[in-house]
Amino acid sequence: MKIYYATSISGVQSEDSDEINSKLIEYLKNFGEVLTEHFANPAIKKNGEARIKDEDIHNRDMKWLLESDVIIAEVSNPSLGVGYELGRAFELNKKILCMCRKNIKRLSAMITGNGKMTVKYYSSVNEAKDIIRNYFLADKLSKITKRRM
């Protein structure tokens, strides 16, 4: 399984974003290949991918989005890039799990109002891991049930 993990890179970030993203990306590796695992590298948030042109980053990330089986997005921090990725993923009919911290004032209605995106709220990394595990288990059960029909 190929997983595209989306999170705010250039946009707003909380103090613990790096730690949360690192732990979630590492956990996601239990379920498949995380195409965007480099987002766990704090240097990327600090300096961006300075050696790569913006156009090349866009094209690479869109290629990964196309290849992915599922998109897992940490949406607690506003990000134009993540919004763009989620819109494209929706158009491509990808499975999408958006995770948001419970202490966020309000998540965009463009996310919460889209019935094709699963939105879950968490208060700790362990709770986020449970959400991820349950999401993949539910998907696996759904596939088994469809095969039996």
CATH of the domain at 114: 3.40.50.450
Tell me, rounded to whole angstroms, the distance of Cα 63 from its chain centroid: 15
pTM of the model: 0.88
| The predicted structure's pLDDT at residue 64 | 96
Q: Domain residues for 45?
A: 2-148
For residue range 114-145, what is the model confidence (pLDDT) as tens digits?
999 999 999 999 999 999 999 999 876 666 55
What would the pLDDT profile of 11-51 be if each residue is shown by its tens digit? 666 777 888 999 999 999 999 999 998 876 666 666 666 67
In the chain, the number of structural domains is 1
Listed in sequence order, the DSSP H helices in 3-113 are: 17-28, 42-47, 54-67, 80-91, 109-112
The pLDDT score that the predictor gives to residue 1 is 94
Q: What is the pLDDT of residue 51?
A: 78
